[in-house]
Structure 1
Amino acid sequence: MKTAEIANRYLDFFRKKDHTIVPSSSLVSDDPSIMFTIAGMVPFIPYLTGVVPAPYPSAADLQKCIRTNDIEEVGKTARHGTFFQMMGNWSFGDYFKEEAISYAWEFLTSSEDEGGLGFDEKDLWVTVYEDDDEAEQLWRKIAGLPAHRIQRMGREDNYWTTGQPGPAGPCSEIYFDRGPEYGKDGGPAVDDERFLEIWNLVFMQYAIDNVRSKTEFDIVGDLPQKNIDTGMGLERVAFIKQGVENMYETDQVRPVLDRASEISGRPYGANDDDDVRFRIIADHVRSSLMLLSDGVTPSNEGRGYILRRLMRRTVRSMRLLGVEGATFPELFAASRDAMKENFPEVERDWTRISTYAFAEEETFLRTLTAGSTILDTALAEAKGSGATKLAGDKAFQLHDTYGFPIDLTLEIAEEQGLGVDRDAFNGLMAAQRERAKEDARSRKKTIADVSVYGEFRAHGETRFTGFDDLITETRVLGLLVDGRPAQKAVSGQVAEVIVAETALYAESGGQVADKGQIIGSGFELDVLDVQRPVAGLVSHTVEVTSGEVAVGDAATTVVDAANRRQAQQAHSATHLVHAALRDTLGSGATQAGSLNRAGYLRFDFSWGQALSAETKTEIEEIANNAVRDDLEVSTRIMSLDEATAAGAMALFGEKYGEKVRMVDIGGPWSRELCGGTHVASSSQIGLISLTGESSVGSANRRVEALVGTSAFRELTAERALVAELSASLKTPKDRLADRIAELSASLKSAEKRIAQFEAQALQLRVPQLAEQAAGAGRITLVAESLGQVGSADDVRSLVTQVRERLGAGPAVVALAGEANGRPSIVIATNDAARAVGAQAGALVKIATQVLGGGGGGKPDLAQGGGQDASAIGRALTAVRDAVAAL
């Protein structure tokens, strides 16, 4: 039974049980404290906790999830994967234990002809919470399970909480017996490799408080509404139903594994180490594909870093299989074809997905080439100094700075007869992880517990009136001071204000929040920010500038009209720039992020190369022609399917409900899903002036523009500058570019002649410097400061010439100078000096420690620099002392 069929059977089963079928949420979590949707229940947390009223009494879904905390186990076990799909059925006060158990048992054990999965009842075991007599009795009543196949477990295994005060409840888990060849008998309490968990039923019925750990908390009462939260792992069920050994061999994963095997020429199943690599590749390619499809792009931080790590681990694994060229075009295509039945967007958005994937692989392959060069130099230095191991900090630098995998460092070092100081490397890695964990903990601490908004959200959704009105009369529903509910806020305090309706726009879709005020009888509040902390609720962060505001007060929200107008101009201009980009570059130029504020727009889009000056001019002209044509701006509310069918662009990273708002500018020419505010017609934008275009990633570009009055002011300033230059250079405006080019060429020629004179002057110093050689132990040493020099290259040239004049005896030359305010030092040694232990690289490190910088090189020639030019004398003294000590 194919994976997609299992999912379809599940959804069909619960559709017939009157459940609303909910599409999968994005892998990018709405919860600011977590980067990804790490479990099937994450999108439903607001409903389960009661913060947001559930829009349906019961639901079922197939939720895509990403979890990378066990990434090192991927490929080694039957069930660890970074991407997985969780089938779930949910009840929000609609039904409870008996129905949940009945549904689960019916779906699992009904025949395939009846729409079930056809599991043999004798292969299924269950666990219940140790005190949950009711669940055990229901299992015996509904399923007829014998007592020995119902095992009781403690809080560690069979009790669900969020880890915070709030809802909780006992669990009942369903296990499949894989047979005696996988382990010993005795049920899941004895062996969880043989007995594989496939479904977890959470009976959410209690409120807990004083949470001290996963197992230590106080049950303080019953929830007002009992909920059901279940999760069945699709991949686990799939590998059981398909009769394969693990999730990597299922129909949605195996094609990538097979393609990697074909490319590498190594068979799957012949070598344990290779098999782990094949499984890592199959898992990571699928995870990367799904993350890219949800708008995550490779970067060096946050979600993008996780994606980059998955992709680079894939490249590394292919390299360890003997493949050094690009493989993503074939591997990602295989994953696309395997996943498109469940998630058609991976095929629909293939152009964008593949652009990012292929560019990332090309970048990392270049990184590996550069890293290999750096590593070769480091290994040569280590061998030259007599070391048997590469220093741990050097291995960590290669890993952290250049993205060079540690196992490749180990492999290459071993080929050259060296080890790697793994203890030091592991220590640095552990310190980095701890810093990351501390950062995550600190980010979590800065986020208010969203449960504080539950009481306010219970009043209903905040009604936004700002599409039509800039002033709205309302009522204060709630106040938060220092993140806690309060009855009032007084002058000088910063607070959050919740009102029933508001004209003030909450930041979303790239458009920043409105500026404005909230006023009432006896109080004035300056609005600092407007956000949506939970779905459907708007919170205004305000400073009480006068008086005192209290819960229940009548209030009026007032939008800063000028700021809103300019923000609308920028937002509508962003749509025009997007359409112009697609007109010019094609459909592959899709939005990857934006920022719109009064007078300014920033627009990121998927594209792999810089735009020419002609292309930028064309984009700017198309956008401004649309302004001139006074195109109508219209909005319509419709279903997501209707909008998609009409050709509306859905933007990555945005969350859409069943009903969406479609914004047309000039009909289908610019048609996007957008909840922001806009001008009434394109001519109201005024003017769009592109001010910059740059790279923001391996396959991402960014354009920036000024809009409306801001664009006019910038052009006015540029006109004044041109007039000033024209007068200063006594050149007509139409010849300014030629005149500046002439002056630039003259300046470069003069600089070149000056450099030649300086080089000649330095050459004249070679005999003088050689004559200053003095004995330092067994070695002849020249260690002098040159004063001001043109560049480090001048010093390097001088050092090698002085070394040649010192003859065949042991000799070291160390010359330093100041170039552009910063110190530079170059050290050279001859064969005889190296024979008695003088290594240029080691001596440069001694000097640069004094200079406050770093450097390196080979045993015969090395150079470095620093921050403190005044320390040159001390650095040379340190070199003299080190040479004398030899």
Structure 2
Amino acid sequence: MQTHEIRKRFLDHFIKAGHTEVPSASLLLDDPNLLFVNAGMVPFKPYFLGEQTPPFTRATSVQKCVRTLDIDEVGITTRHNTFFQMAGNFSFGDYFKREAINFAWTLLTNSLEDGGYGIDPEKLWPTVYLDDDEAEAIWRDEIGVPAERIQRRGMKDNYWSMGVPGPCGPCSEIFYDRGPEYGVEGGPEADEDRYIEIWNLVFMQNVRGPGGAKDGYEILGPLPKKNIDTGMGVERVACILQGVDNVYETDLLKPIIDLAAELTGRRYGAGSHADDVRFRVIADHARTSAMLIGDGVLPGNDGRGYVLRRLLRRVVRSMRLLGAGSEASGPDRIGAGSEASGPDRIGAGDNQPTMGAIIGKVIDLMAPSYPELDAERAHIVDVAVGEESSFAKTLAAGSKLFADAAAATKKSSRKTISGSDAFTLHDTYGFPIDLTLEMAAEAGLEVDQEGFSALMAEQKQRAKADANARKTGHADLSVYREFLDRGPTEFTGFEELVSEAKVLGLVADGNRIPAAAAGQELTVVLDRTPLYAESGGQMADVGTITTSSGVRLAVTDVQKVGKSVWLHKVRVEEGEIEEGDEVLAAVDTAWRHGATQGHSGTHMVHAALREVLGPNATQAGSLNRPGYLRFDFHANGPLTESQRREIEEISNAAVEANYQVNTFETGLAEAKAMGALALFGENYGDVVRVVEIGGPFSMELCGGTHVASSAQIGPITVIGESSVGSGVRRVEAYVGMDSFRFLSKERALLAALSSSLRVPSEEVPGRVEQLVTKLREAEKELARVRAEQAQAAVSGLLDNATTVGSTLVVEGRVPGLDANGLRSIATDLRGKIADRQAVIALFSPSGEGADAKVPFVIATTAGARDAGIKAGDLVKEVAPIVGGRGGGKPDLAQGAGTDPGGIDAALRRIREFVG
């Protein structure tokens, strides 16, 4: 049975049982504890936590999930996956244990003709929590599972919580017996390789307190309502129903492995464990990457972007180690001996990117369940191929750095590249350890893998500590529960700027209060409001809330809770506001006018970008406030000056055309059929708002406020374009009067320059270029003179070096250099004595009094590091002595101080430390 059919049967089974089907949420949810959605119940958290009232009592979903804590284990075993699909059924105060157990059992064991999976009941082993007699009785007496196939397990295995204070409860898990060829008899307690968990039934009935680990917390008491949260592993059930050993051999991953084999010329399952690991990494990571990009993640250097970058680069690395783009040949080469050859031969030394083909295959396989992947195919592939290209440059740079490290190792008559060098290559330059090992072997060297692993372990421990520090309980939104249950705030701001309203509630410091007096800051909930709440890149309105009796509140911010209730952040300026008061809520008209100019201007710039760069220049984020806009978009490189001018001209031509701005609501499918652009990765409801400016010129899904016609935007002036991440650029612009003021300042600046240089304004650029050229030439000459002086000063440093114990200490003052110059000389000196156990410490004092500066650099050779002397440790010792601070890595560290008088003491401390 194909995986898509497994999904369909699950949903059909529960829909027939009265459950509402809920589509999979995005992998990215606003949760302080989660980088990605990692369980099927995550989108339902507000209901389980009591923050919102669910619109249904029964629900079912197949949720896409990503877990990356064990990313390094992926492929090594067949049990780890970063992406998986969790099928679940949920009850919110409706049914409980009996129904949940029966629903699961019937779906698993019913025949194919009756809509089930047709699994042999004799193969299924339930587990229950230690004291859950009720669940065991249901399994034994009602379902008919023999008592010897029901096992009781402790808190670590059969008790569930979110990991933070909140709902929790005992579990009943269902395991499938794969047979004696997979392990010993005795049920899940004996062997979880033979008996694999396929379903977890969580009986959410209690509230837990704070604490760590899976069993390090207290059960505080019962929940007001009992809930059901279950999860069936779609991929694991696919293994069973498709008769394969592991998920990598199922219909959604094996074709990716087959394609990778075709592209590399190696075979999966041919006896090489290392190759098989790489094939599994490619299949798993490529699928996860496509799903993340499909939900709006882009490669970056932190957070979600860093995870995606790491996944993509592991795919590229694994393809390379399997021989993609190499001159592989021989009996293992697919098609060896055939007539295929030349530049059209797949992987035959053409060094062409392979990511496009791999990601394209992922989309082909996953699109039947997630059609949005196919709709965004070009974007997803472009992002992946762009990262592959970027990584190729990293590999090129890393190869040179490795060559330097290898040369230094050989020069010192050693055979092992230090763990710190390998870690620096990996951590600082993104050079994979696998490639370091491979290249070391080719050079006849080894790598200190223990040292590398120790440094990696330290890094992971720091990351884990940081993650735990960030992990918090969920924000208590229960104070707004009544308002959420009441229904959404009526937003009147599209039609009017002043609205009559009623105060539904006042909240201060997380508590409801009956009234608030002058000087207090609080949150006000109204039944209706014209004030726009921040969303979609548009900042919130500011304004006032007043009463006929003279009460006045200044509205400083407006946010949403539950995406439906407006929260007005206010400061009471006059009088006393009370719950139940009738008020007038008013928008600051000047603010709103500027905000609409900025938002409509954003649409203009987006349309112009697509006209100049093509349809792939899609939005990746935006921010607009009165008079200003910034727009992030997907692009592989910076705009040229001519492109920037063209975008500005097209935008302003649209302004001058005075296009009508039309807004209307329609169905999501109908809007997309019209050609309306949707923000990539955003979740939309069934009914959407379309903003149309100039017919085909601009049509986007948007919930923001806009001008009535494009001429009201005023002039648009692009003030900057920059990079904000791999494959993402940012345009910034002024609109309206802010644009005029900017241009006025620019004109005044040009006039001043023209006067100072005594040339006509049109000749200013050429004259400035001449001056800059002369300045650069003078700076080069100055740098040359300083370098000569520095070399002269350095020439005696080696001659005057001292030996402390077995360590050579090269130290001294080198005046007139900045940190870069010092670092250059230090590394040069280190190269000359690479075969020695040595430390180089250089200081460059300059200035006096308050202007005094002391940049300093410390470098160590591999021999010194092997002896436990690390540059970073030395810097920490001497930095305070010269009135500064610094840091760095074991091989090179630097800092700066403000007390030249401390240099002699600092040098003494270095000798003491080394000794």
TM over 0.5: yes
Task: Tell me which residue corresponds to 1:199.
Answer: 199
- What letter matches 2:396 in structure 1? T
Task: Tell me which residue corresponds to 1:288.
Answer: 289
| Structure 1 residue 600: Cα displacement | 1.0
Change (3 A) 1:499 1:241: same
Task: Tell me which residue corresponds to 2:338.
Answer: none
Task: Tell me which residue corresponds to 1:515.
Answer: 542
| Structure 1 residue 64: Cα displacement | 0.6
Task: Tell me which residue corresponds to 1:831.
Answer: none
- What letter matches 1:429 in structure 2? Q
Give the TM-score taking structure 2 as reference length: 0.83
Task: Tell me which residue corresponds to 1:336.
Answer: 363
- C-alpha contact (below 8 Å) 1:161/1:168 kept by paired residues: yes
> What is the count of residue pairs matched by the alignment?
862
CA–CA separation in structure 2 for the residues paired with 1:428 and 1:545:
53
Q: Deviations over 1:417-464 (max 9, x none)?
A: 4525246514531442244224423xx36x622334323312222222
- C-alpha contact (below 8 Å) 2:661/2:692 kept by paired residues: yes
Q: Deviations over 1:692-717 (max 9, x none)?
A: 11112221111111111111110111
- C-alpha contact (below 8 Å) 1:528/1:543 kept by paired residues: yes
Task: Tell me which residue corresponds to 1:643.
Answer: 671
Q: Secondary structure of 1:735's partner?
A: helix
Are 1:573 and 2:574 counterparts?
Answer: no
Are 1:432 and 2:462 counterparts?
Answer: yes
Task: Tell me which residue corresponds to 1:318.
Answer: 319
Task: Tell me which residue corresponds to 1:112.
Answer: 112
- C-alpha contact (below 8 Å) 1:259/1:331 kept by paired residues: yes
- What letter matches 2:503 in structure 1? V
- C-alpha contact (below 8 Å) 1:846/1:878 kept by paired residues: no
Task: Name whichever of 426-435 and 863-872 sits farther off.
Answer: 863-872
- What letter matches 2:365 in structure 1? A
- What letter matches 2:355 in structure 1? F
- C-alpha contact (below 8 Å) 1:775/1:781 kept by paired residues: yes
CA–CA separation in structure 2 for the residues paired with 1:137 and 1:815:
77
CA–CA separation in structure 1 for the residues paired with 2:367 and 2:187:
37
| Structure 1 residue 857: Cα displacement | 14
CA–CA separation in structure 2 for the residues paired with 1:826 and 1:555:
66
Task: Tell me which residue corresponds to 1:809.
Answer: none
Which one of the candidate residues 660, 668, 673 is aligned to 2:688?
660
Task: Tell me which residue corresponds to 2:727.
Answer: 699
CA–CA separation in structure 1 for the residues paired with 2:61 and 2:612:
40
- What letter matches 1:90 in structure 2? F
Task: Tell me which residue corresponds to 1:497.
Answer: 524
- C-alpha contact (below 8 Å) 1:395/1:425 kept by paired residues: no
Structural RMSD (CA): 4.4
Which one of the candidate residues 646, 654, 660 is aligned to 1:618?
646
Are 1:564 and 2:592 counterparts?
Answer: yes
Task: Tell me which residue corresponds to 1:372.
Answer: 399
Task: Tell me which residue corresponds to 2:48.
Answer: 48
- What letter matches 2:458 in structure 1? L
CA–CA separation in structure 1 for the residues paired with 2:188 and 2:823:
72
Task: Tell me which residue corresponds to 2:502.
Answer: 475
CA–CA separation in structure 1 for the residues paired with 2:819 and 2:209:
65
Q: Deviations over 1:763-802 (max 9, x none)?
A: 9x9799889987979999999867547998899899999x
1:267-282 pair list within 5 angstroms: 267-269=267-269, 270-282=271-283
Task: Name whichever of 383-392 and 9-18 sits farther off.
Answer: 383-392
Are 1:742 and 2:735 counterparts?
Answer: no
CA–CA separation in structure 1 for the residues paired with 2:718 and 2:290:
33
Change (3 A) 1:800 1:665: closer
Task: Name whichever of 549-558 and 619-628 sits farther off.
Answer: 549-558
1:138-537 pair list within 5 angstroms: 138-140=138-140, 143-204=143-204, 206-208=205-207, 210-212=209-211, 214-215=214-215, 216-218=217-219, 220-221=221-222, 223-224=224-225, 226-269=226-269, 270-323=271-324, 326-381=353-408, 393-410=420-437, 412=439, 415-420=444-449, 421-422=451-452, 424-426=454-456, 428-441=458-471, 444=472, 448-520=475-547, 521=549, 523-537=551-565
CA–CA separation in structure 1 for the residues paired with 2:526 and 2:772:
62
| Structure 1 residue 739: Cα displacement | 2.8
Change (3 A) 1:203 1:870: closer
Change (3 A) 1:186 1:879: closer
CA–CA separation in structure 2 for the residues paired with 1:495 and 1:797:
59
Change (3 A) 1:431 1:201: closer
- C-alpha contact (below 8 Å) 1:126/1:174 kept by paired residues: yes
- What letter matches 1:208 in structure 2? V
CA–CA separation in structure 1 for the residues paired with 2:797 and 2:22:
86
Task: Tell me which residue corresponds to 1:867.
Answer: 896
CA–CA separation in structure 1 for the residues paired with 2:320 and 2:6:
35
Q: Secondary structure of 1:696's partner?
A: strand
Are 1:592 and 2:620 counterparts?
Answer: yes
Task: Name whichever of 296-305 and 543-552 sits farther off.
Answer: 543-552
Task: Tell me which residue corresponds to 2:343.
Answer: none
Task: Tell me which residue corresponds to 1:807.
Answer: none
- C-alpha contact (below 8 Å) 1:791/1:819 kept by paired residues: no
Change (3 A) 1:156 1:781: closer
Are 1:8 and 2:8 counterparts?
Answer: yes
| Structure 1 residue 864: Cα displacement | 9.4
Q: Secondary structure of 1:510's partner?
A: coil
| Structure 1 residue 748: Cα displacement | 4.5
CA–CA separation in structure 1 for the residues paired with 2:148 and 2:906:
82
Q: Secondary structure of 2:428's partner?
A: helix
Q: Secondary structure of 1:634's partner?
A: strand
Q: Secondary structure of 1:710's partner?
A: helix
| Structure 1 residue 315: Cα displacement | 2.9
CA–CA separation in structure 1 for the residues paired with 2:89 and 2:668:
23
- Percent identity (aligned): 48
- What letter matches 2:60 in structure 1? A
CA–CA separation in structure 2 for the residues paired with 1:487 and 1:393:
63
- C-alpha contact (below 8 Å) 1:816/1:872 kept by paired residues: no
- What letter matches 1:428 in structure 2? E
- C-alpha contact (below 8 Å) 1:769/1:782 kept by paired residues: no
Task: Name whichever of 698-707 and 74-83 sits farther off.
Answer: 74-83
Task: Tell me which residue corresponds to 1:838.
Answer: none
1:21-100 pair list within 5 angstroms: 21-100=21-100
CA–CA separation in structure 1 for the residues paired with 2:522 and 2:324:
59
| Structure 1 residue 241: Cα displacement | 0.9
CA–CA separation in structure 2 for the residues paired with 1:164 and 1:776:
58
- C-alpha contact (below 8 Å) 1:847/1:879 kept by paired residues: no
CA–CA separation in structure 1 for the residues paired with 2:827 and 2:422:
31
Change (3 A) 1:143 1:768: closer
Change (3 A) 1:67 1:847: closer
| Structure 1 residue 52: Cα displacement | 1.9
- C-alpha contact (below 8 Å) 1:799/1:826 kept by paired residues: no
- C-alpha contact (below 8 Å) 1:58/1:89 kept by paired residues: yes
CA–CA separation in structure 2 for the residues paired with 1:404 and 1:146:
55
Change (3 A) 1:768 1:789: closer
Task: Tell me which residue corresponds to 2:330.
Answer: none
Task: Name whichever of 76-85 and 13-22 sits farther off.
Answer: 13-22
| Structure 1 residue 260: Cα displacement | 2.5
Change (3 A) 1:142 1:676: farther
Give the TM-score taking structure 1 as reference length: 0.86
CA–CA separation in structure 1 for the residues paired with 2:679 and 2:84:
24
| Structure 1 residue 72: Cα displacement | 3.1
